[in-house]
Amino acid sequence: MKKFSTAACILASTAALMCGAMPVHAAPGDKPAAAARQCAFLANAPDQHVVVRGDTLWGISGRFLQHPWCWPQVWEMNREDIRNPHWIYPGQIVYFDRAAGRLRLGRPAGAGGSANVRLSPQVRISGLDDDAIRSIPAAVIEPFLSQPLIIEEEEFKDAPRIVATQEGHVFLGMGDRAYVRGDLKGAAEFQVFRPGRVLKDPVSQKIIGYEAVYLGEMKLARTGKSADEADSFNVTVSREEMGVGDRLVPLPPKPIINYVPHAPQQQVDARIVSVYGGVNQAGQNQIVSVNRGADDGLDLGSVLELSRLGATIKDTTDGKKPVKLPDERYGELFIFRTFRHVSYGLVMQVTSPVQIGDIAKSPE
């Protein structure tokens, strides 16, 4: 897999990111021709784009690049160095340096100043980051970042459970007391969920998890004093009615929502497991799950190509011998949340609907 070159991007207090135009170098063993094809510019790419509120890095890059997820490479952003996101703000200009084959941020050459401005890095202490544009449409995925949603088979079996309620209440609400049994693994704050739709691997047909229903949150009030004594919890967030039998999962850390798109570090060959919302097809900016996760080489920001599995037909021109038609690529999937063997992805540009069973694999 290609490695990104060292970043030449500097963040300052009075301007956002100004990027140099050093060429992207392929890692040893990479094929330059393949690298060029993967990050090729559109033949009709514009000379510049003025950033406006609501833009995303993916959307801006789609105006210039055949594969929008290549933007970290053409803007010289190193995947490791960009863990703390670099921001771009409304009003700035992204322009296409055709001679260097790069995108740059700042003022076009000849517009009253140099196109590349190098400023000393400073800590931004104001609230301007609220105005910064994101990598992808953040509002679409925010509800999926902190709620459990997918509970895998092993996690479900071991999850702590509500065994009783204070004063025998049928349902729990804000501030109510609940009694829980199970291994808390040292955590004190939990989300409460109820197992919902069963997720099956489209290939093996084995159960790989449950699309959980988020009910609310609880905080540990008192641990049991003996092995057979329940732990006491208080309800801190109530979204839906919760009661005896519902399960708990530790509250996840606050997520970072500005991901850097990249190809997986190892070859991934996945299938679409489900379309969120219980429907059979998905379009752009909808959420789907795949049957591969962190243990299979996916991480936050991984990009997968979407393809429809080519059918096997009988060749009527040659004695009806079976022949497989090629898989047809039709879009891209952006992975934004991973579990061990299941992941959530945001459907990006597609030319046809995403269907359960479709292929999602590493970009070629």
The whole-number pLDDT of residue 11 equals 26
End-to-end Cα, the chain, rounded Å:
10
The bridge status of strand 207-222 relative to strand 150-152 is antiparallel
Residue at token pair 């069973």? 357
**CB–CB of 128/12 below 8 Å?**
no
Contact 332/306 with Cβ under 8 angstroms? yes
pLDDT at 255: 67
CA distance 114 to 108: 8
Q: Please give the domain boundaries of the chain with CATH numbers for all domains.
A: 1-135 (no CATH), 150-250 (no CATH), 269-361 (2.40.10.410)
CA 112 to chain centre: 39
| Per-residue pLDDT tens listing for the chain (364 residues) | 333 222 222 222 222 322 322 233 333 333 334 444 468 899 999 999 998 888 888 888 889 988 888 877 777 655 444 444 456 778 888 888 888 888 887 654 444 444 444 322 233 333 345 667 777 777 788 778 878 788 888 788 889 999 999 887 889 989 999 999 999 999 999 999 998 888 999 989 999 888 888 999 999 999 999 989 999 999 999 999 999 999 999 998 776 666 778 889 899 999 999 998 777 889 988 999 999 999 999 998 899 999 998 888 888 888 888 898 888 999 999 999 999 999 999 998 889 999 999 999 998 7
pLDDT of res. 120: 27
- Cβ contact 152:195 at 8 Å: no
Evaluate whether 211 touches 274 at the Cβ level (below 8 Å). yes
259: left (phi over 0), alpha (psi -120 to 50) or beta: beta
